[in-house]
Homo-oligomer: A and B are copies of this chain.
Amino acid sequence: MSVTIDDVRQAHARIRPYVHNTPVMTSERLDELAGARLVFKCEHMQKAGAFKTRGAVNAVFGLEQEVARAGVATHSSGNHGAALARAAMMRGIPAWIIVPGNAKRVKKEAIRAYGGEIVECESTLAAREEILKRVLGETGAHFVPPYDDDRIIAGQGTAALELLEDAPDLDAVITPVGGGGLLAGSAIVGAAMDVDVFGAEPEMADDAARSFRSGQRVTHHVPQTIADGLQTTLGERNFAIIREMAADILLVSEQEIVNAMRLIWTRLKQVVEPSAAVTLAVVMRYRARFAGRRLGLILTGGNLDVEQLPL
């Protein structure tokens, strides 16, 4: 495998000074409702508001000084952009973030707040690739992809590592899957510690589930889900790891995601993104499968426009 448990442990040692070891949270009422014992890993309280901080810090602080000097660049409509800008700021290097013109205001503000340079582009893949090439050419910046990258995968895996340190008796870990950085990193940790790792995905963005079942990575699809952090295509490296190491990828409807988000808001009193609620939605839908088990769920992020709540 391209990424091993040792890479995840090394990433953990590297990022530790720059990220939160986020708390875990439980709720007796949610356990009753779910018919299982749930432990939530609070990555919505992570620096920059999402687990993406882990991979970005690992990638940026893993660079040789002569490479790092020119800065880093990425494309992202979501949390990876802000996370990379923050990691670059902490290392004292510039960051260029290519963002589609229609990206959410709150995400762009976060990038700017961390000193990132926003480069707007049209929201097609071709436009993005072209602008990225131009930025890399003009600046000499190093490209840090949002998920299809060994350093990112190892970094994201550290969340599951901490979760299993705090709750070593878990039967399974469930994470959302978009590009597959978090799921792949978690699956590596799960394989090393003999814990099943499941992916949770919206039906309206089911490329990872279809790829997992067919053994062929689905690359053409048009995702449309309120879990906007998961509207990405499963990465190649990510797929290879997930296919070998994940237990399954389970699908949920938009309504199930909204219901789960509401439970997290009203029972845990935590502000999370819709993407973060997909894991609880899976637990509620596949009750028989998870009945009585001890489950770790990663609450991936808490960045949303409070004016546009899908509740």
**Chain A: residues with CB nearer than 8 A to chain B?**
23, 44-45, 49, 106, 262, 265-266, 269-272, 302, 306-307, 309, 311
| Contact yes or no, B306 A45, CB < 8 A | no
Chain B residues contacting A262 (CB-CB under 8 Å) are: 306
Sample (10) of A-B pairs whose CB atoms are under 8 Å apart: A23-B23, A44-B269, A106-B266, A265-B271, A265-B306, A269-B271, A269-B272, A270-B270, A306-B309, A307-B311
Kindly identify which residue among B106, B266, B270, B311 contacts A269, using a CB–CB cutoff of 8 Å: B270
Kindly identify which residue among B49, B269, B302 contacts A302, using a CB–CB cutoff of 8 Å: B269
Query: How far is A272 from B307 in the complex, measured between Cα atoms in Å?
Result: 16
Kindly identify which residue among B271, B309, B311 contacts A270, using a CB–CB cutoff of 8 Å: B271
| Contact yes or no, A306 B302, CB < 8 A | no
Known: A269-B271, A270-B271. 10 other contacts (CB 8 A): A23-B23, A44-B269, A45-B269, A262-B306, A265-B306, A266-B271, A269-B272, A270-B270, A271-B271, A309-B309
Chain B residues contacting A49 (CB-CB under 8 Å) are: 269
Chain B residues contacting A106 (CB-CB under 8 Å) are: 266
Query: How far is A66 from B149 in the complex, measured between Cα atoms in Å?
Result: 69
| Distance in Å: Cβ of A24 to nearest Cβ of chain B | 11
| Distance in Å: Cβ of A148 to nearest Cβ of chain B | 28
Chain B residues contacting A271 (CB-CB under 8 Å) are: 265-266, 269-271
Chain B residues contacting A269 (CB-CB under 8 Å) are: 44-45, 49, 270-272, 302
Query: How far is A197 from B272 in the complex, measured between Cα atoms in Å?
Result: 33
| Distance in Å: Cβ of A90 to nearest Cβ of chain B | 13
A-B complex: 8 closest residue pairs judged by Cβ atoms: A269-B302, A269-B271, A306-B311, A44-B269, A265-B271, A265-B306, A45-B269, A271-B271
Query: How far is A45 from B106 in the complex, measured between Cα atoms in Å?
Result: 27
Q: Which residue of B lies closest to A261 (CB)?
A: B306
| Distance in Å: Cβ of A33 to nearest Cβ of chain B | 12
Q: Which residue of B lies closest to A262 (CB)?
A: B306
Query: How far is A269 from B45 in the complex, measured between Cα atoms in Å?
Result: 7
